[in-house]
């Protein structure tokens, strides 16, 4: 899963069917933070 589809899936987990721009932003932030964590752990 990649790109916007991944963001939409995470937004679904955060808010369910009522996705908003805010939940999409939160999803992007979660992915960004996970990437940073993975880089720091390697």
pLDDT in tens, the chain (42 residues): 678 899 999 999 998 888 899 999 999 999 999 999 999 986
Q: Provide the pLDDT for residue 3.
A: 86
Q: Provide the pLDDT for residue 42.
A: 67
Burial class (CB in 10 A: 0-12, 13-18, 19+), 18: exposed
Separation in Å, CA 23 to CA 6, 29, 33, 38, 42 = 13, 10, 15, 22, 29
- Please state whether 2 falls in left (phi above 0), alpha (psi between -120 and 50) or beta: beta
């Amino acid at each position: 899963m990649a790109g916007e589809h991944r963001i939409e899936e995470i937004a679904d987990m955060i808010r369910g069917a009522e996705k908003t721009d805010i939940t999409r932003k939160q999803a992007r932030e979660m992915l960004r933070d996970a990437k940073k964590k993975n880089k720091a752990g390697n």
